Amino acid sequence: MSEQLFIQMCITGIVMGLIYILIALGITLIFGVMRIVNFVHGEMTMLSAFSMYYLFEVWHMNFILALLLSVIAISLMGIFFQRYIYKPLGYDILNVMIIAAGASIALKSAGWIIFGPVPRDIATVFPGMIRVLGTPLSMERAAVALICVGLTIALYIFLLKTKTGKSMRAVEQDSEAAAVLGVSIDRVHAIVFVIGCSLAAVAGALVGMLFAVEPEMGGEPLLKSFMIILIGGMGSIPGAIVAGLLLGLIDSFTETLLGGEMAFIIGFALLMLILIIRPKGFFGYEI
């Protein structure tokens, strides 16, 4: 293994890991505050990538405007799910998971029916190359990495410093006490869903820029973010960041050195292993 290849694999792994972190942060935020698992997250990234494809690639809209519109659309979808699908079930974690699994499979099949199986491509917005440690890296990947880091830091500051962020953390710690102190639980739930689904929408747009846009594209990031959350612990943001980078690196190394099929097996074996060794993750809550 040459040094060049090693650096290349590290960089690919870190970029993938950052995208996974973005998706995982949405799931972990929703779980932390509401104690439910949003299984539709993967399909949200898929829908966002398709909306980016149509708005930006087919209708030649401005990139920022297209991204904004996709984020708004996916956030509205998130609020719809929160209000009309998860709330009537009383946020019971297992029932929500089952209904979300049904909704996810329905959305994925709708994607197959509407968009067809042909993979699409979104043209790059950031052309060019830079060199990192003597290894060529496309501007696109560098920009994706920067966006991911920026959003993660912004989310962290939002949660720590703003009033809304503080009320979200209050609900996370004890929702009844927060309600007594005047925090509107319903409003916080809606905001959490908007933030989580916006992160999924941005991640979908970024994945669509780097890879092919197709109806099955949501499955793998979802699975990877579950693994991130399980390693890092449900509801823990620093845990998700550490685990995301670790998983991205593992992913990149196994895929390059052992091939895609073995990486598939190793991925699931790792998931089982983590669950069996430490069911509640390394920093997380007990359910």
Residues in contact with 278: Cβ distance below 8 Å, sequence separation at least 6, in sequence order = none
Q: According to the binding rule CB under 8 A, does residue 257 interact with another protein?
A: no
CB atoms within 10 A of CB 169: 15
Q: Which is nearer to another protein, 187 or 280 (CB)?
A: 280
d(CA 160, CA 253): 35
Q: Taking CB under 8 A as the rule, which mask of x and - marks residues 87-106 in contact with another protein?
A: -xx--xxxx-xxx-xxxxxx
Q: According to the binding rule CB under 8 A, does residue 6 interact with another protein?
A: no
Q: How much is the CA Rg of the chain, to the nearest whole Å?
A: 19
Q: Kindly identify the residues of this chain, within the stretch 193-232, that bind another protein according to CB under 8 A.
A: 226, 230
d(CA 268, CA 274): 10
Q: According to the binding rule CB under 8 A, does residue 80 interact with another protein?
A: no
Shortest reach from residue 276's CB to another protein, in Å: 5
Shortest reach from residue 265's CB to another protein, in Å: 4
Residues 31-56 as b or e (16 or more Cβ within 10 Å = b): bbbbbbbbbbbbbbbbbbbbbbbebb
d(CA 48, CA 199): 10
Q: Which is nearer to another protein, 132 or 257 (CB)?
A: 257
Shortest reach from residue 206's CB to another protein, in Å: 25
Q: Which is nearer to another protein, 99 or 209 (CB)?
A: 99
Among 136-144, 183-191, 194-202, 261-269, the segment contacting another protein (CB under 8 A)? 261-269
Q: Which is nearer to another protein, 226 or 253 (CB)?
A: 226
Among 15, 22, 67, 107, binds another protein (CB under 8 A): 107
Shortest reach from residue 4's CB to another protein, in Å: 29
Q: Kindly identify the residues of this chain, within the stretch 12-51, that bind another protein according to CB under 8 A.
A: 37
Q: Which is nearer to another protein, 71 or 228 (CB)?
A: 228
One-letter identity of residue 9: M
Among 45-53, 158-166, 246-254, 262-270, the segment contacting another protein (CB under 8 A)? 262-270
Shortest reach from residue 234's CB to another protein, in Å: 9
- Residue pair 151/241 in contact (Cβ under 8 Å)? The answer is no
Shortest reach from residue 73's CB to another protein, in Å: 20
Q: How far apart are the first and last CA of the chain?
A: 43
∠ CA 141-160-42, nearest 5°, is 45
Burial class (CB in 10 A: 0-12, 13-18, 19+), 212: middle
Q: Which is nearer to another protein, 116 or 150 (CB)?
A: 116
d(CA 70, CA 47): 9
d(CA 227, CA 267): 9
Strand partners, 267: none
Q: According to the binding rule CB under 8 A, does residue 115 interact with another protein?
A: no
Instruction: Note the residues at the interface with another protein (CB under 8 A).
Output: 37, 85, 88-89, 92-95, 97-99, 101-110, 112-113, 226, 230, 261-262, 264-265, 268-269, 271-272, 275-276, 279-280, 287
